[in-house]
């Protein structure tokens, strides 16, 4: 636009700024938007029609090779969609900033014309004689005021110009200079971005290209902050966010998805299909971002992201619950929210909160996601309108000492996680199509403490009518009725050999010396041989004193197995092969049929 070569100076003049045709920039943005949308449509057709059709009708090496080729092609179109979307927003944001400065400029020019001042080509303003001299009473001489690009940075001289037109002219000159300077800065910034938005040569989209795309997206996000980001209703309620999204034009939605997939994909209240689309794109950008790092934390998260990406690209078998990515991020220990079944269209929606030592790693991507998938598959056999979610939306405590460090874990993570969980569940209520969906909160291990903390927030967990606690070291309250859903809607699973369900309260631990001389293994042995109704975080949920509905669970492997110490009994509640009784009960509750669960005797 200006031929500018650096940030310090500018060849842009006010007359050139006035003549910039922002409509042409917006037309170019529309063109890139159409290309982006076509690439997205082709990608959808590849993944939604061609891949399933090929898998269902063809078998053998050649079809397998074709599937790999189609998946690669789908990734390429995803890249085209992302980069073209960034181009669209870059041009629209540039037009937005230029139009803003054109309005500032035009306001100054209009004021100059009304006062019969002359704005010179260099932006200075000539004003006529005016006022009266103190000595002879004649009009005071006119003059010329030169603009200061940043007048607030210039200290006042202390002199008062005698001609009343001088101050008015100076104000107009300053506004002209400010508009030109701001437009030139925008021109320079966006030129750099546009030059970076280009693909490597070749037909493939290697990892390095996605790394570049992540940097491109970050640059466009930063530049377009005033154009898009400031309007995202982060502080609104989920219902208000849903209404905001519904009120946007198609073009505005497309731009938000292209530039801020991380914001839209993790915004509670936004429809599940939109969040899924945004997070699938953000997943690629996150992987590209982490590829450029060599630290252990990034490597761990990258492995998990790749596994989630692999699962998302699988063509589901007939009858399998479809997979939706409702949240993803690399902050803290990592974030991932994955649904099996659409939580917006399902009458029954259950959200599972994992516990101690859970983070965005390979074990989570394989094990914790499988728990939700298995539960969803079983629940959908009971009621097809069911969805189950794995919710890693908080930093679960990480403990190299294992279960013996629950005292160190404390309640802070649970309290913070409980607040975040309530925001997510409020989003489910807002986006669900049914007037009164059946919502279930499932807490495992320390995740049960997080669910317990969520119930103690004002109003309890939004929409939740049933609570499932498995492998729980306590939930922060002493009675089931304190969880706010009624004691008959609190379900508890506690395997006989699960020592976590027998962890004594902290004061008892001190008396018995647990966690000191015996070390973690010795502590667990001690726990396996004792314990009472007082757990680390309140009364044992499986106890009669607590008053919940305990369902059956396989005893699980004993703590001291031949040749080894194991806590596997803590981890098999959701597994239909290892503990069909517990897994079946959880599925019944998730499907809204908790009243059919067979009750087990309390401890």
| 3-state class (DSSP) for residue 549 | strand
Q: What is the chain's percent helix, strand, coil content, to nearest 5?
A: 55, 10, 35
Helix axis angle, 272-291 relative to 296-313, nearest 10°?
140
pLDDT at 209: 67
- In the chain, how many H helices and how many E strands? 19, 15
Residue 306's contacts (CB-CB under 8 Å, 6 or more residues apart) are 287
User: Is-contact 77 205, C-beta < 8 A?
Assistant: no
From CA 132, how far away is CA 554, in angstroms rounded? 101
pLDDT at 516: 31
Q: Nearest-CA neighbor of 348 among 418, 270, 428? A: 428
Six-digit token string for 432: 């669900």
Q: Beta strand pairing status for 464-470 and 438-444?
A: parallel
Q: What is the largest CA-CA distance in the chain?
A: 114
Residues of the chain with pLDDT under 70: 1-10, 53, 55-58, 133-137, 149-161, 198-211, 229, 400-410, 504-536
| Location of structure tokens 């073009």 | 251
Q: Nearest-CA neighbor of 553 among 493, 602, 486? A: 493
**φ, ψ dihedrals at 90, nearest 5°:** -60, -45
Residue 59's contacts (CB-CB under 8 Å, 6 or more residues apart) are none
Q: Enumerate long-range contacts of 139-145, CB under 8 Å, 24 or more apart.
A: 143/169, 144/120, 144/169, 145/169, 145/170, 145/172, 145/173
**φ, ψ dihedrals at 443, nearest 5°:** -115, 130
| 3-state class (DSSP) for residue 28 | helix
CA atoms within a 13 Å half-sphere pointing along the CA-CB vector of 262: 15
Per the DSSP assignment, residues forming a β-bridge with 560 are: 565
| 3-state class (DSSP) for residue 267 | coil
How distant, in Å, are the alpha carbons of 291, 426, 485 from that of 455? Answer: 39, 13, 9
pLDDT at 531: 44
| Location of structure tokens 């179109």 | 77
From CA 505, how far away is CA 496, in angstroms rounded? 18
User: Is-contact 469 448, C-beta < 8 A?
Assistant: yes
pLDDT at 208: 65
Hey, CA dihedral for 107, 111, 112, 113, is it positive or negative?
A: positive
Q: Nearest-CA neighbor of 132 among 122, 124, 140? A: 140
| 3-state class (DSSP) for residue 228 | coil
From CA 3, how far away is CA 235, in angstroms rounded? 41
The number of residues in the chain equals 603
Per the DSSP assignment, residues forming a β-bridge with 352 are: 390, 442
User: Is-contact 272 341, C-beta < 8 A?
Assistant: no
How distant, in Å, are the alpha carbons of 486, 494, 542, 602 from that of 478? Answer: 14, 16, 11, 15
Q: Beta strand pairing status for 348-353 and 125-127?
A: unpaired
Six-digit token string for 494: 């506690």
């Amino acid at each position: 636009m200006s031929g500018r070569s650096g940030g310090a100076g500018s060849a842009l003049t006010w007359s050139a700024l006035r003549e910039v045709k922002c409509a042409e920039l917006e037309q170019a943005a529309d063109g890139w938007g159409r290309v982006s949308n076509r690439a997205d449509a082709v990608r959808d057709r590849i993944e939604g029609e061609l891949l399933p059709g090929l898998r269902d009708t063809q078998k053998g090496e050649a079809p397998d090779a074709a599937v790999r080729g189609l998946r690669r092609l789908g990734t390429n179109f995803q890249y085209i969609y992302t980069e073209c979307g960034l181009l669209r927003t870059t041009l629209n944001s540039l037009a937005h900033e230029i139009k803003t400065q054109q309005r500032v400029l035009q306001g100054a020019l209009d004021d100059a014309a009304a006062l019969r001042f002359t704005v010179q080509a260099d932006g200075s303003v000539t004003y006529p004689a005016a006022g009266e001299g103190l000595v002879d009473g004649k009009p005071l001489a006119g003059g010329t005021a030169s603009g200061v690009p940043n007048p607030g940075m210039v200290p006042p001289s202390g002199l008062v110009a005698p001609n009343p037109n001088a101050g008015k002219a100076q104000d107009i000159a300053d506004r002209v200079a400010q508009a030109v300077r701001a437009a030139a800065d925008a021109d320079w910034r966006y030129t750099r971005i546009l030059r970076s938005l280009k693909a490597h040569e070749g037909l493939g989209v290697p990892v390095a290209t996605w790394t570049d795309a992540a940097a491109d997206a970050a640059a466009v996000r930063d530049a377009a902050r005033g154009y898009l980001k400031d309007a995202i209703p982060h502080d609104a309620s989920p219902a208000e966010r849903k209404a905001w999204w519904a009120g946007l034009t198609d073009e505005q939605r497309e731009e938000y998805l292209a530039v801020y997939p991380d914001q839209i994909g993790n915004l509670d209240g936004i429809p599940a299909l939109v969040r899924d689309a945004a997070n699938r794109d953000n997943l690629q950008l996150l992987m590209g971002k982490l590829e450029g790092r060599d630290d252990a934390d990034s490597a761990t998260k990258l492995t998990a992201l790749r596994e989630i990406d692999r699962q998302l690209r699988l063509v589901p078998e007939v009858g399998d619950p479809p997979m939706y990515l409702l949240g993803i991020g690399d902050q803290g220990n990592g974030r991932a929210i994955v649904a099996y079944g659409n939580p917006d269209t399902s009458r029954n929606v259950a959200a599972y909160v994992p516990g101690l030592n859970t983070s965005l790693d390979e074990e989570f991507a394989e094990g914790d996601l499988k728990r939700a998938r298995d539960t969803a598959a079983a629940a959908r056999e009971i009621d097809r309108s069911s969805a189950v979610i794995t919710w890693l939306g908080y930093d679960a405590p990480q403990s190299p000492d294992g279960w013996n460090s629950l005292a160190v874990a404390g309640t802070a993570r649970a309290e913070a996680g409980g607040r975040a969980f309530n925001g997510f569940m409020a989003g489910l209520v807002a986006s669900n199509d049914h007037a009164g969906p059946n919502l279930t909160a499932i807490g495992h291990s320390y995740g049960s403490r997080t669910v317990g903390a969520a119930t103690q927030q004002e109003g309890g967990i939004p929409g939740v009518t049933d609570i499932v606690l498995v492998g729980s070291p306590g939930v922060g309250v002493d009675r089931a009725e304190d969880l706010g859903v009624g004691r008959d809607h609190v379900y508890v699973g506690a395997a006989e050999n699960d020592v976590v369900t027998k962890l004594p309260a902290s004061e008892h631990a001190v008396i018995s010396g647990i966690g000191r001389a015996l070390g973690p293994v010795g502590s667990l042995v001690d726990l396996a041989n004792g314990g009472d109704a007082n757990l680390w975080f309140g009364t044992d949920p499986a106890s009669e004193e607590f008053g919940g509905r305990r369902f059956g669970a396989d005893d699980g492997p004993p703590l001291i197995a031949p040749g080894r110490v194991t806590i596997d009994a803590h981890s098999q509640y959701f597994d239909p092969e290892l503990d069909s009784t517990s897994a079946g009960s959880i599925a019944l509750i998730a499907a809204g049929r908790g009243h059919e669960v067979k009750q087990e005797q309390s401890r």
